[in-house]
Structure 1
Amino acid sequence: MVREGLKGVLAALPDIEVVGEACDGREAIELARRVEMDVLLMDLAMPKKGGLDALGSLRAQCPRLSVLIVSGFPEERFALALFRLGAAGFIAKDATLEEMVGAIRAVGSGKPFWGPSVTSMLASQLPKHAPAQLHDALTSREFQIFLRLGRGETVGAVGRSLGLSHKTVSTHRTRLMRKLALASNSDLTYYAIKNGLLE
């Protein structure tokens, strides 16, 4: 219903053409491969392949595509991970239609679209500064694996989903556990829930 409503509004604008839609992350990746587009609006919480996983794949396979994240999560919660994965911007689901269209137009013209608080936070995250939260120190791949493990996926399942070997996922797990000062998977899940990172 949300997609249909937004599609109707965008299709009525003279400078925007809707070229397709997808119901999950896998479909979004396939659509981006097949259809030429300038901007892809994508939610973080999607079935089959979440927004963070899909974003990593899209940046690798369609590097010129601008991806605008639309989410109900607070922008600051995933800002660093989204920025590192190459998102062009972020717009909240409760934004007005005018704000949504403005964000699409900005990203479509090559301008990043981030809120003032995130812009300030990103500017402060220079190498000489310590990360604001422990998980901000994770690489984009570590963060992807961290979220999957936090949701209860096994190392094997994570590897199959991301196309990585069991050993590679285990290595990333060891590193991220060290960075987060965690000892077990239950600690990892608790950390993710406590910090509001699970979709």
Structure 2
Amino acid sequence: MRIVVADDEAMIRAGVRAILASDPDIEVVAEAADGREAVEMVRAHRPDLALLDIRMPKLDGLAAAAEIRRLAPEVGVIMLTTFGEDEYIAGALGNGAGGFLLKSGDPRELIAGIRAVAEGAAFLSPQVARRVINELARGGGRMSRAAEARQRIAGLTGRERQVLELLAGGLSNAEIASRLHVVEGTVKAYVSGILTRLAVRNRVQAAIMAYEAGVVDGLA
């Protein structure tokens, strides 16, 4: 897995590189000190994944994530940040990030998150996942969101709904393929179709919609 690491603090970049060096399957191909440079590094190196801080000069991580997803939609994006405020989480997921990790988390979460997103799954730090679920559960508009989610999901085929349930359960494309006894390329095609039918930008948003609709346990 080829990674671009972007953070405006050199010590953080060095620490991240040291953690990633513990996994022989991960290679840091470039580093960036600001969001604009991160976009250029992705353009130049076409990595598998970009690991972005949120608060960076020239272009913040949220804007950089959106630009990277526009420029190279095949590149996964993970936010690695000190800031776990709701607006940052919502902004990151809305801009297509497949993962949101806190710098205060266990270093093993970083490796797990990179592996998950690289394999086509989504990954949130446990603290972030709890905030997302709690916010959805207590939100004043939960009933209307649930009704809209159910309406959109009703348009899926039976197989697409199966894939959505497994996706929302945190399974990667390879794991879904194994569970359904199909090839991984077929799962990728189903996931792409699901995102289009649900009018969402990434797997995290699709999973949230599944929870809102009661397709999987957790919020219904």
Q: Could you tell me the TM-score, scaled by structure 2's length?
A: 0.54
Residue 59 of structure 1 is matched in structure 2 by 69
Conserved in 1, the CA contact under 8 Å of 2:46 and 2:75?
A: no
Cα drift, residue 99 of structure 1: 1.4
Aligned residues: 130
The answer for unaligned runs of 5 or more in structure 1 is 131-199
CA distance 1:8–1:117, change in 2 (3 Å) = same
Does residue 17 (structure 1) correspond to residue 33 (structure 2)? The answer is no
After superposition, residues 1-199 of structure 1 pair within 5 angstroms as: 1-114=11-124, 115-120=128-133, 121=135, 128-129=144-145
Higher strand share goes to which structure?
A: 2
Structure 1 runs (4+) deviating above 3 angstroms are: 121-127
The answer for unaligned runs of 5 or more in structure 2 is 1-10, 147-220
Conserved in 1, the CA contact under 8 Å of 2:79 and 2:100?
A: yes
After superposition, the C-alpha distances for 1:116-156 in whole angstroms (9 at most, x for unaligned) are 324424687779239xxxxxxxxxxxxxxxxxxxxxxxxxx
Q: Distance in 1 between the 2:112 and 2:52 partners?
A: 16
Query: What percent identity do the matched residue pairs reach?
Result: 38
Structure 1 window deviating more from structure 2 (115-124 vs 13-22): it is: 115-124
Structure 1 window deviating more from structure 2 (101-110 vs 115-124): it is: 115-124
CA distance 1:116–1:35, change in 2 (3 Å) = same
Pairwise CA RMSD: 2.3
Cα drift, residue 49 of structure 1: 0.8
Residue 183 of structure 1 is matched in structure 2 by none
Cα drift, residue 75 of structure 1: 4.9
Match of 2:29, SS?
A: coil
